[in-house]
Amino acid sequence: MGKTILIAEQSEIIRKGLIKVINSFDMFDNVSELACNANIEASVIKLEPDILVINPLMIGTSLKGWLKEQINGRMKVAAIVYTLFDDEIKEVFDEIIQINDTRLRIKTKLTSLINSKDESKKPAPDDTLSSREKDVVRLLAKGLSNKEISEQLYISPHTVITHRKNITRKLNIKSVAGLIVYAIINEIVLVDDLHNQ
Amino acid sequence: MAELIINGQMKLSNIIDKDKRALVLFPRFGIDLGIGDKTVAGLCMQKDIDLQFFLLMVNTFLNPDYFPDKQLKSVDADMLIGYLVESHNFYLEERIPYLQSLIEKFKKSVDHPATAQLEKFFDQYIVEVKDHLAYEDETAFPYMAMISAYKKRSDVPAGQIDYSVGVFEERHDNIQEKLSDLKNLLVKYFPPVNDRYIRIRLLNELIDFEEDLINHARIEDKVLIPVVKQLEQQVKSG
């Protein structure tokens, strides 16, 4: 069955660029675009896209309520992000596409959105890390000790240990060196940010 | 899988048919393949290998639940150490260089920032394995051989001994854990690579090496440590 994606983004450069990248994946039969937020609701009703990619800056207060209703619906919503946002934004969207994501990364994100569409009612699979656990992995990869991590995240050392246990259980990776490789693969940390011992 | 207990009347070739993991054991006893239809007992006689010891090693290696309680008393520590040293040589001269060559090929087939880290991870791991093996070869085994010589021929050890098998037991850490991490990364998390077969070859070898190390550690924990403890007690009680 043909898939549809709708891109809502004001910047023509970004919008056209993203469309070009998405077209090269051959994943969607219909790649539509919107340059302003006036027609978003109507376009979604008309197109029934599988994925909506939207710049969070385009979401005003009225759209916010509407967007919340879309969560857990049949359409997946991804944010296209190139400015700094509060971490809370991650809770609102099914996926975040960063401006500096590689082609492969964008493809992986869109593929997992398409694949998760049919199982959106199921709880999150057990092996995905929470954003807090990702924070811990990121700091571990940078070479911080449990104590330093607890100070940086304002949590108790005991909580850091609990997070580490859960991370090991979820990923089945026990060593810090192994977690570093995992963190790079999943872009939790960039190679340049690694603490070079 | 039904456990296969090897006995002296079995043909060696049948053992390999039933459990290919036995293949790595033969070089450790100086056995070259091209064995025809020889039985275990026949070949051991020809090669001057202690049959009971051979069976004990093969069965402990192949069966996680095989516990050689009754035979422990009769195990010769020197034979055991000889076998373990041969296993170490096999890791150092065969398994590790081969794994390194596969990692090298894997690295070349992938253009991903995580590959460099994967290689670094593996290199660090190899250093740890080599340290672990060197400690056993240079500290633990010589001590054990000395105790054994004292027991057999009353060779009085030169100088003060401040070592015991208890120290070995305590620091006998697990060296296959990181291998399991590496395996999980390749199975579950590493993105698709250009040459999918190199990943499969690499995984096959990692899984074999991991299993070999687990079996090897079991022989050290279940056979070597009790045997040397027994020797220590006999030496102490005169």
**Three-class secondary structure assignment of B75-91:** CCHHHHHHHHHHHHHHH
% of chain B surpassing 70 pLDDT:
96
How many whole angstroms separate alpha carbon B234 and alpha carbon B227? 11
Residues of B in contact with A177 (CB under 8 A): 120-121, 124-125, 178, 181
Cα-based distances in Å from A15 to A6, A23, A85: 10, 12, 19
Mean pLDDT of chain B: 88
DSSP A50: S
A196 band by pLDDT with thresholds 50, 70 and 90:
low
DSSP B22: G
Express each pLDDT in A24-66 by its tens digit: 988 898 999 999 888 888 888 888 888 999 988 888 766 777 7
Q: Contact, A122 vs A35, CB < 8 A?
A: no
Instruction: State the amino acid at position A174 in one-letter form.
Output: K
Q: Is the pLDDT of residue A95 over 80?
A: yes
B160 band by pLDDT with thresholds 50, 70 and 90:
low
Q: Which helix (H) or strand (E) covers residue A51, if one does?
A: strand A51-54
How many whole angstroms separate alpha carbon A57 and alpha carbon A64? 11
Order of strands across the sheet that contains A4-8: A30-34, A4-8, A51-54, A76-81, A95-98
Residue contacts between A and B (CB atoms, under 8 Å) = 58
User: Taken in order B148, B154, B157, B163, is the CA torsion positive or negative?
Assistant: positive
Contact yes or no for B178 and A184 at CB 8 A = no
B80 band by pLDDT with thresholds 50, 70 and 90:
very high
**Average pLDDT over every residue of B124-142:** 93
Place of tokens 């004990």: B56
Q: Indicate the length of chain A as a whole number.
A: 197
Range with lowest mean pLDDT among B25-29, B107-111, B225-229: B107-111
Query: By the CB < 8 Å criterion, does B125 face chain A?
Result: yes
How many whole angstroms separate alpha carbon A150 and alpha carbon A160? 6
Q: What is the pLDDT of residue A73?
A: 65
- Out of A172, A178, A180, name the one closest to residue B178 (CB): A178
Q: Contact, B35 vs B15, CB < 8 A?
A: no
Q: Which residues pair with A33 in a beta bridge?
A: A7
Q: Which chain A residue is nearest to residue B175, measuring alpha carbons?
A: A175
A120 band by pLDDT with thresholds 50, 70 and 90:
very low
Task: Record the tokens describing residue B216, joined without a space.
Answer: 């090897």
How many whole angstroms separate alpha carbon B177 and alpha carbon B210? 8
Q: CA geometry: angle at A38 spanning A37 and A42, to 5°?
A: 105
Q: Is the pLDDT of residue A69 over 80?
A: no
Place of tokens 């009225």: A62
Domains defined for chain A, CATH in brackets: 4-117 (3.40.50.2300), 131-193 (1.10.10.10)
Query: By the CB < 8 Å criterion, does B118 face chain A?
Result: yes
Q: Which residues pair with A80 in a beta bridge?
A: A97
Predicted TM-score (pTM) of the model is 0.66
Contact yes or no for A171 and B184 at CB 8 A = yes
